[in-house]
A and B are shown apart, each in its own frame.
Chain A
Amino acid sequence: MSNPAILVENVTVHYGEVLALDAASLTVEAARICGLVGMNGSGKSTLFKAIMGMVKPDAGRVLINGESPAKARKTGGIGYVPQSEDVDWQFPLSVHDVVMMGRYGHQGFTRRASRADRDAVDLALDRVELSEFANRQIGQLSGGQKKRAFVARGIAQGATMMLLDEPFAGVDKRSEATITRLLKELAADGCTILVSTHDLHALPRLCDEAVLLMRKVLMHGPPEVVLQPEHLAMAFGLDVLNRDLPDRDLPAPGLPDRGLPAPGLPDRGLPAPGVANRPGRN
């Protein structure tokens, strides 16, 4: 039997006193698109960090294709698309520069780009249809193009697994459709894709399966089942579609963005010995 692409087994993570993940277990087979649903503070970001090996679980284990996250990182298998608010869009880098960063794991000490690296970047840009914007500063793209640029970075990297944090935030409907098609193509090529999102409307079209997270995995199944209101209510603590709710004062339709306070990770700042560094934002 082959190993699952992602295996999370009874993973528990604390940030100080705050319990972020409580014996969460999740298995995702290769080439599947899995949507991670839960409110802020439900542990979505923490689960991503555990899969990437950025936080060390207090208990449980994570295996990527049957190997440790550290080994998966070394072989360049893990691609990461950050959420918009975690990126400094003013940073003086071109789209091409950013996609080239996907190649760093394949390059030598000074990360000097070879012919092959440049070809890989061109190919990736072509695939996400951003070739004509290669020399634009990264912040001068539309919301959807920005996401595609980071997906291109994962493609150039040759990632066999991609983690996308809120890929539909700040993205218009048309770009959403483009990104959905792109991710489906990647999955068809064998890439395993894990998407965390608030945007429940985009899920059924994109995902093969969905996971309901509230510090632990409450439910894992086909999106149309997981997204049924009575199931969502478990994770969000209210009827998100606002049906049959007598009290209109309850938090609004759409999705509650408040909820639990995000676990306070040590924020940007000093890479003091033993202090988690910048990616700490949740």
Chain B
Amino acid sequence: MRITRRLFLQTTAAATAAGLARPAFARTAADRAVEEAKKYAGSTINIVWEAGLQALDPLNFSGPKWTELTGIEVRVVEVQTAEMFTKIMQEFRAGTGAYDSLNVIPAWMPDLANAGALEPLDALVEKYGYRDELQAIAPTYRDNQMMVDGKIYAFPDDGDVFILYYRKDVFEDPANQAAFKDAHGYDLAPPKTWAQFAEIGRFLTDKYAPQMYGAAFFRQPPYTMYMFQERFRNEGGRFFDADSMRATINSDVGVRVFDEMRAENAFMPPGVEQWGFVENLAAFLSGQTAMTISWPPYGRWAAGYGTDESALSWVPKSTVAGKVGYALPPGGHPQLAAGFCLAVASTSRQKEAAYLFNQWLNSEDISMQRVQLPYALRDPFRTSHFDDPVYKSRWPEAPEYLATLEAGSETGLLDLSLLQTDRYEEVLRQSISRLWAGEDPKAILDDAAAQWDQTTDRIGADKQGAVYRAWAAKSGAYPART
């Protein structure tokens, strides 16, 4: 074909227009994901999501929206949290390609990545221009919950953090303030230490029980396991001797934390040892407890945010809206308990489609909407989420709430993450149930340390030691000591 001057000019103009139009159209990571995903229209991706409220996000909001934008169907595979790791590993070993996109808890990532169950994402991040928006994820999550051995395996997608919720009206009551100061010599305010927590809790229980107790927590072992990890490290405890990889949870710090935890039950409502997420929530929302520590949804629901939605009909109507204050738990370093990241299954036959869905979900634009879904349990995890004026206007105390979440993300502590983490966590869960059953704390923790050592030896102390040291080197592993 002969290239004429007209043809050359026409081609150049068209190419320039296309080049200009593309960035203008696909200007955000979300837009780019949608544009690129359209070539997979008509396909279906299977995504593994925590069963229950969490799954309402892809079922009611993001899934249908993605289908509308790209033509890709989203099939949600709901799995109980306790079974998610098992299902993902079993599917990986079976190699059926049944799962495409995965929700994984960051603490599982060394196991899943080392086994090969997760697809490394660096190349796709570059290919689809997601690097800049990834950098805008809040530093704690971005720096600690995204990579294994220097490779990106998942996008942090849920800013789980434990927050202290307290009754401002009770704390600010002049009579309470005066009486407390007389008794203890300092102001009645959100406790900064566990000793203060115990004194305030006991003081309020003595005054108000049985109508209201000073505090309550979820005490069932799966939840308390996280609280122990938090308190133990805030008090100066270390999980292992990094050189020998012998467990050190049975140190004096561990025993003291166990002793104190059990002693606190005395000023909490009777039977608190059996309480889970819902029992504790119901008690706080109905005004039966003055302090509690929990994940971020407590704060939203206590304010009445979104609780009129049918999905939240089981949440008791809040009688404490407008009366709740937010603070970091005693010690100032809250547990970044659980959380979820978005990953791509290495056995997926539609890795790119799954990746693009994850990029779109996790992007600035879409994640901003998702973290404000009142029912979906996704908590703010991007710097922009904490500063969003719309979110701040959701209820009167929302700015204070978001500021506390942000402060928690900055000082928060990561869940212990090793090879076969669940084996170590299981020992902690059993230890806590033995604590509530009345056994001697020292004996329980000696047993726990012995079981941890046994597991470490079975995995290989050198191998596990390397993983532990990599974890311990992260900024959120242990509180920074000055």
A binds B: no
A contact residues vs B (CB 8 Å cutoff): none
